Structure 1
């Protein structure tokens, strides 16, 4: 057999995501590139590693066994790399984070200089909804999570990072409708995030608290998708300010003043109280505590305007 480490990485990611499309996104490759690597890897085995049933990809029992072996091989390779860096006096290892989807507008700014100063580190950051972030935290699969609503069922430590404000927004055309706030919520379509999203929960709580009978026109699985739907004029939504900076500046979106809004929470970097942090995780935590105020001032001072 003549498989490569790259083929092992691609196959392992495909088995994790059970999707060539999602694997390609996480590996920053095109779908054809992932498909070619998967085929070249499969050609070296007489038994199928994957199968497609009803347009959905499944990993065979044999494929699952090969995936376990691939993970062990790649972990050993990482260990060799880390030991080499450690002997050179460099910080090494993996930093694992899980970030709620809107947090992708926040976390990179708190990682940028740290990762540049420690190029021996490998960053693994999963961007998903709150439900899956909390699950990853609970199962001890990550070092840190970024959330705007603290989980109440886990013993955690937290470092507050940044204010998180949620506003009622519509496209430039929609916000000029001469409607009362009650009419906005009860006669115009609202666009929601998927169940499990903290933004979805906040939006539903606000509607319930004010006893609005809303029209749920659309449900979308990412903040970007909701934003584009609102920009296109398909409806209104309650959205985090952090993700709509450019659209507000360009007047593609406008904030509608509504009593009780904006909703305000705080972005928090959290970890399990019982977690034994790795040297890499400890170094990142120290960096955040020392540099967060500078990062906020340099990268997020615009939030004060709203």
Structure 2
């Protein structure tokens, strides 16, 4: 057999996404290039690695076994590279961070300078909802999690970052009477929700239930960005984290609708299991955040204080 590391990497992406197209996008390759690599890899095995049923790609049981072996090979290669860098005096290793979807507006600003300072550090960042983030943490599948609501059933350590303010938001088209929105006005406007499992969804449901607000029509979307675009388009109103609204508010495409009991304020925290043995790379990142977070907060998120 003469398979290459590149073929292993391509095959792993295909098994992860169950899609040639999505794997190509993730690897920044063309779809034909990925297909050729998969074909060349498959030609070295007498048993199918994948199969297509209908229009859906599935990984066979044999393919799953090969994928598991490929992960171990790639991990060993990474370990060789990291050890080489360590002997050269460079900080090296992989950081695994699982973040809730709104966290994509924050984490790049907290980690970019650290990554630039340490080119031997690789980043693997999964963006999903709160339920899955906590599950990753519980299963020790990630080093850190970025959340706005800290789970209370896990013993954790944390670095507190910035406040997370949630406001009622509408598009430029929405009007309301009075200084704050009334129940009557609220009843006229469809409400756009995040999917179940989202901390933003939970906060919105609690707010609406506590104030016994009417909801004429409910629309459910699977990311804060999708909700924001729906709000901007005028399809409805929603409660959204302020941190993702900077451009929309500045341009006037979105507006904060005054409402009693808002904003809801929590805090963004980078958390990890208290019992976890952090790698030297992970420890270095924690130290970096503790030393630089105040300056980073002022530089990138000072605008939050105007709301």
For 1:31 and 1:19, the matched residues in 2 are separated by: 10
Q: Deviations over 1:265-296 (max 9, x none)?
A: 10001000100000000000000100000100
Per-residue deviation, 1:67: 0.2
After the TM superposition, which residues 1-306 of structure 1 pair with which residues of structure 2 at under 5 Å, given as runs? 1-29=1-29, 31=31, 33-174=33-174, 176-178=175-177, 180-306=181-307
Q: CA deviation at 1:26?
A: 4.1
After superposition, the C-alpha distances for 1:142-198 in whole angstroms (9 at most, x for unaligned) are 111000000011111111101111111111012x25484212432311111111011
Equivalent-residue separation in structure 2 for 1:150 and 1:31 (angstroms): 40
- Gaps of at least 5 residues in structure 2 are none
Please give the alpha-carbon distance, in whole angstroms, between the structure 1 residues aligned to 2:299 and 2:15: 40
Structure 1: distance between partners of 2:83 and 2:293? 30
Task: Provide closer, same or farther for how the CA distance between residues 298 and 181 of structure 1 changes in structure 2, counting only shifts above 3 A.
Answer: same
How many residue pairs match? The answer is: 305
Preserved CA contact (<8 Å) 1:194 1:200 = yes
TM-score between the two structures when normalised by the length of structure 1: 0.94
- CA displacement 1:65-90 (0-9 Å, x = unmatched): 11011111101110110111011000
Secondary structure at 1:215 match in 2:
coil
Indicate conservation of the 8 Å contact 1:170/1:237, yes or no: yes
Check 1:171–1:37 CA distance in 2 against 1; reply closer, same or farther (3 A cut): farther
Q: Is contact 1:146–1:269 with CA below 8 Å preserved after alignment?
A: yes
CA deviation after TM superposition for structure 1 residue 36, in Å: 4.2
Q: Distance in 2 between matches of 1:34 and 1:257?
A: 51
Are the equivalent residues in 1 in contact too, given 2:191–2:236 (CA < 8 A)?
A: yes
Q: Distance in 2 between matches of 1:184 and 1:295?
A: 39
Conservation of the 8 A alpha-carbon contact between 1:102 and 1:240: yes
**Contact conserved, 1:166 with 1:263, CA < 8 A, in 2?**
yes
Q: 1:226 to 1:37 in 2, by over 3 A?
A: farther
Once the two structures are superposed, what CA deviation does each residue of 1:94-133 show, in whole Å capped at 9, x if it has no partner?
Answer: 1110000000000111101100000001111101000000
In 2, Cα distance between equivalents of 1:202 and 1:24: 37
Cα displacement (A) at 1:232: 1.1
Q: Distance in 2 between matches of 1:195 and 1:245?
A: 25
